[in-house]
Amino acid sequence: MTDDVPRSTPSRRDLLSAAAVTAITAGLPSIAEGKAGDKPTKPHAHKGHRTMSTITTKDGTEIYYKDWGKGPVVTFSHGWPLNADAWDGQMLFLAQHGYRVVAHDRRGHGRSSQASNNNDMNGYADDLAAVIETLDLKDATLVGHSTGGGEVARYIGRHGTRRVKKAVLIAAVPPIMLKTPANPEGLPIEVFDGIRAGVAGDRSQYYKNLAIAFYGANRPGAKVSQGTLDQFWLWSMQAGAKNAYESVKAFSETDFTEDLKKFDIPTLVLHGEDDQIVPVKDSAVKSAKLIKGAKDVYYPGAPHGITATHADQVNAELLKFLKS
């Protein structure tokens, strides 16, 4: 377009609209800054800075969280490449049963900012720590699904259990997914290279295909709604391409063995026996042996996404464990 396009004379409606916008925006600084003379609160170097629905970590990443209910605290760490909404079935249930439930979107996922750096387990664990400490959560039960289970494990290995009462690992990636000389039962690197290729290529179609195996919809007699498959795609597409790509290395190559050995709190391990994403024998079975006193429960024929496909059973197991 050129600069010599004739401009029409503003109408009375245009002038009134402009005046209204000016009046509204003029008041915004006073709302944001508070009363005159108030000193702005500086972000804590370790805890992070809190706003209504986000905290800002020490590296400047905004982490979205939701915080429902009152009572004993339960936090939730979601799987790849989803976000906190994947926990809604568990959060609503527990909030209705007298618990305070907190879930955040991992950096680069959902409503959190798409950070270029720290897309690894140490970064994820530190973000969880920032949420816990900024909200001053105490005696919390940490629940993690899939990659989120790795996040919980690394949090405990890195930050200890001073604020933790119990832990739950659901279809979680620890101890390590990748096939190595020390872990010959693991999945070969080519599997994860294929995931990276899917994210770097037509990731929209890749996520649609992945949802089928995630929820076991490809098994005879499976009853998985189209809505469940669609929401997986929706949540996945909210993850940044760079973040999702780099997270593959984080969830597949991180060795959580030493982290699991540091668990000194009651721990529940849940896993589907027909998990096509995180094979049960190389994950939950091994994790339960590494965590002192862990209780492990296995669901015959259940897929990776058991928080959706077996929500009633998972919820009942969680509530039972929380009350124990």
Residues acting as catalytic residues: 146, 275, 304
Q: Determine whether 296 is exposed, middle or buried from the number of CB atoms within 10 Å of its CB (0-12, 13-18, 19+).
A: middle
Helix ranges, the chain (H): 12-26, 28-33, 88-95, 121-134, 147-159, 189-200, 203-214, 226-237, 241-253, 257-261, 284-290, 306-309, 311-323
Q: Which residues, other chains included, contact 78 with Cβ-Cβ below 8 Å and sequence gap of 6+?
A: 84, 86, 87, 103, 105, 106, 109, 145, 146, 147, 148
**Whole-angstrom distance, CA of residue 191 vs CA of residue 311:** 28
**Whole-angstrom distance, CA of residue 80 vs CA of residue 78:** 7
Using alpha carbons, select from 257, 287, 292, 258 the residue that is nearest to residue 271: 287
